[in-house]
Amino acid sequence: MSEEQMSEKTPHPAFEQLQKEINFKEQFSQIASPAYIIDACQLRKNGEILASVIAHTGCKILLAQKAFSNYDFYEQVSAYVSGTEASGLYEARLGAEEMPGKEVHVFSAAYREDEFEELLTYADHIVFNSPAQLKKYGKRAKEHNKSIGIRINPECSTQSGHEIYDPCAPGSRLGVTRQVWDQEMTEEWVELLDGLHFHTLCEQDADALEVTLEAVEDKFSDVLPRMKWLNMGGGHHITRTDYDIARLERLICEIQSRWKVEVYLEPGEAVALNAGYLVSRVLDVVTNGETKIAILDVSAACHMPDVIEMPYMPPVYAAEEAGKQRYTYRLAGPSCLSGDVIGDYSFEEPLHAGDVLIFGDMAIYSTCKNNTFNGMALPNIYRKCINGELEKLTDFTYADFKMRLGKEKQ
């Protein structure tokens, strides 16, 4: 991309840290694309915000690995968080191995019998999704000195537009409603519990948490005083520029005082928000009617699947919404999927084959969700070190595509 195209005309929060580096344009243009770059400076900035919440309230904050599981950065992140949250055996093992000495919490919608014994070797806290799972595994977990909890569903939706991420949607499989609690949670099983867990938010502010807490208290106020801890899940966008941290800290302190519980938060995005970039190049520019389409060497379906799944449009450096600047293009991937489209963006200068485009906020839900559909290569991962230098962390090849699909011939 030319200097004009990479102008700093409209800075975006995803590029705030990047713009402090005067040579990043040349630096990024020198590496083979596609490539993820994870910014250690932005991770530090996010970590310091999370650590301040811990210091001000006494709560504990966990890294939700489902959003960010690049373990090369766990040593750095561990300086700011209390441990990791896992969704199953492999994430639990990763957290235990790569963040030693920190807490490992696990929640799964249902645990596997053939994995549970091994899981017990890694987890400190185990949260069950149903009374049946609690009754099947709870006593065994207690015998191994694990702190156990159950996920509740306060039946309080506070989001709109992202139903796929709403655990409180009608018919949700996640969490125990009060009706089910009253039917199945006898005194024997309530006494076994150490804590309650809820997770209802998605990229939301503390006002949504406050509404949720009112619903939790309304439905489970008789249970909460009997618990040792309350895990308020993830979805807290704590490190976003406009997040109401003062309200969050007030809520945590009120909860701890009123219910005498230890409070956990397990954000994923907040840990690595705006800490990653995806470097790409234009392969071709085609036209269909009035639409100009830039085909890139990155795929929405393969390299940033949340673009299609959520859906959303990631920020692109020096680009704006369609029509805001002189030239509008539809950015699309090279796969055979017709819907492999990232979105419509505008630029001050026309795009040409070979131009470099930089996508922002690519540390979260990208490297941990990418795939090799259509034989697409996995982008390599780089660390942008505190001193500004780039360190290559991976060397993905054809073997990484092939090994997932069958047995290698001897």
> Could you tell me if 345 and 204 lie in one domain?
no
Q: Does 162 score more than 90 pLDDT?
A: no
Which of 303, 302, 368, 271 has its CA nearest to residue 66? 368
State residue 376's pLDDT score.
Answer: 97
Among residues 229, 248, 271, the one where a domain terminates is 271
Q: Is the pLDDT of residue 163 over 90?
A: no
pLDDT class for 165, splitting at 50, 70, 90? confident
pLDDT in tens, 18-35: 888 888 999 999 999 999
> Which one-letter amino acid corresponds to residue 140?
R
Nearest to 1 by CA among 355, 278, 345, 360: 355
Q: Decide which of 271, 291, 323 is a domain's last residue.
A: 271
200 and 91 both lie in a single domain:
yes
278-322 per-position pLDDT tens digit: 999 999 999 999 999 999 999 999 999 999 998 999 999 999 999
Task: Show the domain range for 359.
Answer: 13-40+274-402
Among 286, 280, 327, CA closest to 303: 280
282 shares its domain with 386: yes
What amino acid occupies position 202? Answer: C
Is the pLDDT score of 1 beyond 70? no
278 and 226 share one domain: no
Going by pLDDT thresholds of 50, 70 and 90, the confidence category of residue 7 is: very low
pLDDT of residue 264: 98
DSSP string covering 235-301 = -B-TTSTT--HHHHHHHHHHHHHHH--EEEE--SHHHHTT-EEEEEEEEEEEEETTEEEEEESS-HH
The H-assigned helical ranges of 16-130 are 24-29, 40-57, 74-77, 89-98, 113-120
pLDDT of residue 6: 44
Q: Is the pLDDT of residue 259 over 50?
A: yes
Structure confidence at residue 9 as a pLDDT band (50, 70, 90)? low
Both 361 and 237 in one domain: the answer is no
Q: Read off the pLDDT of residues 38-81 as tens digits, 9 standing for 90 and up.
A: 999 999 999 999 999 999 999 999 999 999 999 999 999 999 99
Please check whether residue 107 lies inside any domain of the structure.
yes
**Mean pLDDT on 331-354:** 98
204 and 153 share a domain? yes
Average confidence score pLDDT of the chain: 95
In a domain, 410, yes or no: no
In this structure, the answer to whether residues 366 and 302 fall within a common structural domain is yes
What's the structural domain count of the chain?
Answer: 2
Element (H, E) at 219: helix 206-220
Tokens representing 402 are 């092939």
Say yes or no to pLDDT of 119 above 80: yes
Check if the beta carbon of residue 137 is closer than 8 Å to that of residue 113.
Answer: no
Instruction: Return the pLDDT at 73.
Output: 98
Query: Cβ of 242: how many Cβ atoms within 10 Å?
Result: 7
What pLDDT does 410 receive? 72
* 205-231 confidence digits (pLDDT tens): 999 999 999 999 999 999 999 999 999
* Pair (200, 220) in one structural domain: yes
Whether the predicted pLDDT of 101 surpasses 70: yes
In this prediction, residue 148 carries a pLDDT of: 98
